[in-house]
Structure 1
Amino acid sequence: MSTALPPSDQLLYTPKEAATVLRFGRSTVYELMAEGLLRCVKRGRSRRIRRSDLEAFVNSLEPESP
Structure 2
Amino acid sequence: MRHSIEDLIKRIGVMKDKAILLHRVRNEFAEISYKEYDHAACNALIEDIQAMALSIANDKEGDEIITEMEYKK
More strand by share: 1
More helix by share: 2
> Is TM more than 0.5 here?
no
